[in-house]
């Protein structure tokens, strides 16, 4: 294929498109207290507002890649962008947490058709392997920065506008990406047409959805309830059936045989652990900054900036270290550092100075995150044959999204399991005049709990409510600590799990350049 003369301009459009869909993974985190206040959203609803985007995004990525190859990459990417912008408008003007969750899920589904298309268009636009490596490096850097700068962007918008602005800002960017894409990007399709694996898509999506649903709603239903146990059982059965079906299909949606290769499975595990820890931490810390330390949304976003800056500096350095030391040692060190950073944050109190343990814990996490990503990607790509590179990139993306989805689900579930009973016991002496419904609402949301305490302070029970408000904050901190420590423990166990499959030999320059 001839080399497109406007290939670097095409890369700019692709980077804008991927920035749009990736930044929405984290841009809403600083808006969570606003959702609690303005939409009366419970902790469970907040989890679904975050995971409602990531879950369909992860579940449909491979389907998006398959349709792009069959119907045309430009066509599928632009259809996804248009729907992404349309659903962003719906989310911006939602007046209930349920409406927000629905539109977030639709946005995630649309994003699943944009993200893999950008990878395919980039591959075709850069036939020269050296230039393609540089282009993938820039594409990957934009993807990483979108994750890191989401809270800052969201904080600025929430501080200056209403909560819907974090979604409405997508619309002009979508218009620019569509306009430039129609002009610059050529249409391409895969030379070999393969049937779409409908059974694999249905089983995989249903299995993952059942797992995340059980994790998020488990604290409300009870971990031993028939519904929770049934969902966990269904997820195991569905995912096992998914593996069996994929092993038997000639053209599987997800080639599970690739996981038989140690470097591939170890690299995928490293990526999953990095985003599991990061998304779980961001979900918690942005609420901590606002609900406990009283920061504005913008201030909360800016206070996560050390993580973003450290990541920017360390990513290239981590790649060089992996070339000299070896993938296994660098990735496992990174996982341990991320675990240590979250655990460190999990023992701080509400008055801990920001310029001290808090900022150092975030820098520790950022160092670990930077050490994990380039070598893990190199491990995945280095384990594949040339014809499997596209599938490997898709697995990389799916693992990242699933890791982040489970991180939010687990951290939110642990938080709710501690916060809800603590708040119920605090408000129990005030029944009556409080109704059971009011206490239930307070136990599901920090904003509701503070609101209820303020209402009591204006009534006959007022003299005792100063201690009640302090009790609510203490319940939040206990829940925050427990969730951080659980995330850290899971991450640390993951370090042992990926140690053996990862290769101890240094990565190659070629694989480190591929995101």
Identify the three-state secondary structure at position 454. Answer: helix
* Whole-number Å distance between alpha carbons of 303 and 300: 5
Identify the three-state secondary structure at position 223. Answer: coil
Residue 459 pLDDT level (bands cut at 50, 70, 90): low
Average pLDDT score over residue span 206-234: 83
Residue 515's pLDDT is 41
Per residue in 468-508, pLDDT (tens digit) is 778 888 888 899 999 999 999 999 999 998 888 776 665 55
Confidence check: pLDDT of 393 > 80: no
Average pLDDT score over residue span 252-279: 83
In this structure, what are the phi and psi dihedrals at residue 164, rounded to the nearest 5 degrees?
A: -65, -15
54 within 8 A of 29, measured Cβ to Cβ: no
Handedness of CA 144, 146, 149, 150 (dihedral sign): negative
User: Smallest Cα–Cα separation from 170: which of 46, 87, 73, 53?
Assistant: 87
Q: What is the pTM of this model?
A: 0.79
Residue 107 pLDDT level (bands cut at 50, 70, 90): very high
Residue 434's pLDDT is 72
Confidence check: pLDDT of 190 > 50: yes
Lowest-pLDDT choice from 105-119, 160-174, 317-331, 474-488: 317-331
Residue 299's pLDDT is 83
* Whole-number Å distance between alpha carbons of 390 and 1: 18
Q: Ranked by mean pLDDT, which of 261-275, 329-343, 415-429 comes out on top?
A: 329-343
Class of domain 1-194: mainly alpha
Residue 363's pLDDT is 93
Average pLDDT score over residue span 416-436: 80
Lowest-pLDDT choice from 302-306, 367-371, 505-509: 505-509
In this structure, what are the phi and psi dihedrals at residue 269, rounded to the nearest 5 degrees?
A: -65, -40
Domain ranges of the chain: 1-194, 197-252
Residue 140 pLDDT level (bands cut at 50, 70, 90): low
Average pLDDT score over residue span 382-386: 63
For the record, the structure tokens of 187 come out as 């249409």
Residue 514's pLDDT is 42
Q: Which long-range contacts (CB under 8 A, 24 or more apart) does 457-465 make?
A: 459/433, 460/433, 461/430, 461/433
Handedness of CA 95, 97, 100, 106 (dihedral sign): negative
* Whole-number Å distance between alpha carbons of 419 and 493: 25
Residue 52's pLDDT is 82
Confidence check: pLDDT of 132 > 70: no
Average pLDDT score over residue span 428-452: 73
Confidence check: pLDDT of 361 > 90: yes
Residue 339 pLDDT level (bands cut at 50, 70, 90): very high
Residue 86's pLDDT is 94
508 within 8 A of 382, measured Cβ to Cβ: yes
Per residue in 398-415, pLDDT (tens digit) is 777 778 878 887 888 888
In this structure, what are the phi and psi dihedrals at residue 351, rounded to the nearest 5 degrees?
A: -105, 10
Confidence check: pLDDT of 1 > 50: no
* Whole-number Å distance between alpha carbons of 165 and 30: 12
232 within 8 A of 214, measured Cβ to Cβ: yes
Residue 388's pLDDT is 58
Confidence check: pLDDT of 2 > 50: no
Packing angle, helices 170-184 and 7-23, rounded to 10:
150
More confidently predicted of 1 and 479: 479
pLDDT above 90 coverage of the chain, percent: 15
């Amino acid at each position: 294929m001839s080399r497109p003369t406007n290939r670097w301009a095409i890369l700019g459009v692709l980077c804008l498109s991927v920035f749009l869909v990736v930044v929405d993974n984290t841009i809403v985190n600083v808006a969570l207290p606003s959702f609690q206040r303005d939409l009366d959203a419970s902790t469970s609803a907040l989890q679904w507002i975050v995971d409602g985007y990531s879950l369909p995004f992860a579940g449909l990525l491979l389907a998006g890649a398959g349709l792009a190859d069959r119907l045309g990459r430009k066509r599928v990417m632009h259809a996804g962008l248009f729907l992404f912008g349309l659903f962003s408008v719906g989310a911006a003007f939602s007046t209930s947490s349920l409406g927000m969750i629905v539109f977030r899920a639709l946005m995630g589904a649309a994003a699943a058709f944009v993200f893999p298309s950008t990878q395919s268009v980039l591959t075709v636009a850069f036939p020269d392997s050296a230039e393609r490596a540089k282009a993938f490096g820039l594409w990957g850097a934009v993807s990483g920065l979108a994750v890191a700068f989401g809270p800052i962007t969201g904080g600025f918008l929430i501080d200056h506008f209403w909560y819907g602005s974090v979604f409405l800002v997508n619309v002009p960017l979508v218009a620019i990406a569509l306009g430039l894409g129609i002009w610059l990007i050529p249409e391409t399709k895969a030379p070999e047409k393969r049937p779409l694996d409908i059974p694999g898509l249905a089983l995989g999506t249903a299995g993952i959805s059942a797992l995340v649903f059980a994790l998020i709603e488990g604290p409300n239903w009870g971990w031993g309830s028939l519904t929770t146990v049934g969902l966990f059982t269904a997820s195991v059965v569905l995912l096992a059936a998914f593996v069996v079906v994929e092993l038997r299909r000639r053209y599987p949606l997800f080639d599970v045989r690739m996981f038989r290769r140690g470097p591939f499975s170890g690299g995928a595990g490293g990526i999953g652990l990095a985003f599991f820890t990061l998304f779980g931490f961001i979900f918690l810390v942005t609420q901590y900054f606002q609900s406990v330390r009283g920061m504005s949304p913008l201030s909360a976003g800016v206070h996560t900036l050390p993580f973003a800056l450290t990541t920017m500096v360390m990513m290239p350095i981590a790649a060089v270290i992996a070339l000299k030391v070896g993938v296994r040692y660098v990735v496992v060190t990174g996982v341990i550092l991320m675990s240590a950073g979250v655990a460190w944050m999990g023992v701080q109190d509400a008055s801990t100075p920001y310029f001290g343990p808090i900022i150092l814990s975030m820098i520790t996490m950022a160092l670990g995150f930077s050490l994990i990503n380039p070598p893990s990607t190199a491990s995945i790509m280095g384990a594949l044959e040339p014809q499997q590179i596209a599938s490997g990139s898709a697995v990389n993306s799916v693992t990242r999204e699933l890791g982040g989805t489970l991180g939010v689900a687990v951290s939110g579930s642990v938080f709710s399991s501690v916060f809800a009973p603590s708040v119920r016991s605090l408000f129990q002496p005030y029944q009556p005049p409080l109704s059971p419904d009011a206490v239930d609402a307070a136990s599901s949301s920090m904003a509701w709990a503070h609101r209820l305490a303020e209402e009591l302070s204006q009534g006959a029970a007022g003299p005792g409510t100063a201690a009640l408000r302090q009790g609510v904050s203490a319940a939040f901190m206990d829940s925050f600590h427990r969730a951080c420590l659980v995330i850290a423990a899971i991450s640390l166990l993951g370090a042992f799990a990926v140690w053996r499959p990862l290769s101890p030999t240094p990565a190659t320059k070629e694989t480190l350049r591929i995101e």
